[in-house]
Amino acid sequence: MFLRLAEQHRQYVQDLVMNLQALATVLERRGYLASCYTCGGQMSSASFMVSLGDNHLIRFLVSDYGITWTEMRDDRELMKLEGAEAISQLQELANLVKHSVSPNESPILLSKKV
């Protein structure tokens, strides 16, 4: 049972990494400064970053050790989420892209302060 769960988790992380890479590509095409870096060829971790302008930065990290969303403005951490909450916030960012919001029009994603 545990081996099966471990394999499912690895597959989940790989799927998340692939989606982050696609999101970074779409964001770049829409005029955002975005990047997604992976470590090695196994796609077991990634660092995704996007600038929403006005010194507003989002960093999303995924690995076997966990998932975090960090939102910063003017080099100050505004919000840090982990796990399911981090993924939900990532969905909010994807929704912005889906609705074709440009960097200059993007609302603050911040829903609560740390």
Percent of the chain with pLDDT over 70: 87
Percent of the chain with pLDDT over 90: 71
What average pLDDT does the segment 77-101 reach?
Answer: 90
Please identify which residue in the block is written with the tokens 């095409």: 29
Structural domain includes residue 19 = yes
What average pLDDT does the segment 45-52 reach?
Answer: 95
Single out the residue of 111, 54, 103 nearest to residue 81, CA to CA.
111
Structural domain includes residue 108 = no
Structural domain includes residue 39 = yes
Q: Taking all residues of the chain, what is their mean pLDDT, rounded to a whole number?
A: 87
Structural domain includes residue 65 = yes
Please identify which residue in the block is written with the tokens 């909450």: 85
Tell me if 72 sits within 8 A of 59, measured CB to CB.
yes
Q: Where does the pLDDT of residue 114 fall: very low under 50, low under 70, confident under 90, or very high at 90 and above?
A: very low
Structural domain includes residue 72 = yes
Tell me if 39 sits within 8 A of 56, measured CB to CB.
no
What average pLDDT does the segment 56-82 reach?
Answer: 94
Higher-scoring residue by pLDDT: 55, 64 = 55
Tell me if 103 sits within 8 A of 53, measured CB to CB.
yes
* 3-class secondary-structure state, position 97: helix
